[in-house]
Amino acid sequence: MIVLPYPPSVNRTLRTVAGRPILSAPYRAWRTEAAEAIARQTVEPVEGRYRLTIWATAPDKRRRDLDNLIKPVSDALVRAGVVQDDSLMRDLKIRWTDHTQPGGRVVLQVERA
């Protein structure tokens, strides 16, 4: 299991500056935080095709789209070297937990497919 901080929504990962898309400051900060969290945990890389399960704990009771968490989490796994490429994902399960937690979090299970 891998525990990560709750990511910004995929809708908030990019900003346009002078007509060019750039990574938003909150997303850049989260990417750094996620990489540090993965480095602190004992995470074995998964070679080749893989299955990903995500359990998301929201930071509060506001409405949120669960599917907006997939891309940031998947990209963090690639950047940290846990998986080779997110195109190798063969199965994805994502669900909310039954409670909230200040700041939120996501728990991941990555398995060879």
pLDDT, tens digit, 9 for 90 and up, residues 1-10: 999 999 988 7
CATH number reported for the structural domain that contains residue 32 in this entry: 3.30.1330.70
Give the number of domains in the chain: 1
pLDDT at position 39 over 90:
yes
Q: Give the pTM.
A: 0.89
Residue at token pair 């497919």: 113
Domain of 99 in residue numbering reads as: 2-112
Average pLDDT estimate for 83-101: 96
Q: Report the relative pairing of strands 50-58 and 89-100 from DSSP bridges.
A: parallel
Single-letter amino acid, residue 49: R
Q: How confident is the model at residue 113 (pLDDT cuts 50, 70, 90)?
A: very high
pLDDT confidence of residue 16: 85
- Residues 68, 10: contact at Cβ < 8 Å? yes
- Residues 15, 22: contact at Cβ < 8 Å? yes
